[in-house]
Amino acid sequence: MIKFMIVFDQPEDPENFENVYQDFLALVERMPHILRRQVVHITGSPQGAPRFYRILELYFESTDAQQSALMSAIGQEAGQELSRLPQGAVQLLFADVYEEAGGSTALSTSPAEETEEARDTEAEAESPAKQGF
């Protein structure tokens, strides 16, 4: 799966941003091949005031589907809508999406235990008795 992310910086004029964003979103909703849309509204950061304000994520089955959507007439119109925002206020990113179905990864209680466990596993793998010789 492929993701197209539109990352918006904190707006200087929130009212103008929301007007542009709503017009942009109305166009995005009409774009072909989008499997899923996800909006992330940034609420804070442990490092202080966050640089980012909102992220819109658009999911596609493939790079070809993504390209087709972005190059469509409605995709081009949506892209032009972003030019109403200040220069540099939007970042556009392509990403591959890797998802795991359920499960969890076991965690060691300490790095020392992790290293000891790795040594034990390597020793077992190198042992002729364990390799069936």
CATH number for the domain that contains residue 81:
3.30.70.100
77 assigned to some structural domain: yes
The count of domains in the chain is 1
Q: Which residues of the chain have pLDDT under 70?
A: 103-133
Q: What is the value of pTM for the model shown?
A: 0.73
132 assigned to some structural domain: no
Tokens of 1: 């799966």
In this prediction, residue 99 carries a pLDDT of 79
- Give pLDDT tens digits for 20-32: 999 999 999 999 9
126 assigned to some structural domain: no
As a whole number of angstroms, the distance between CA 132 and CA 8 comes to: 58
In this prediction, residue 103 carries a pLDDT of 66
**Which residue range(s) make up the domain with 34?**
2-96
Residue 118 phi, psi dihedral angles, 5° rounding = -65, -40
116 assigned to some structural domain: no
A 10 A CB-CB count for 86 gives 13
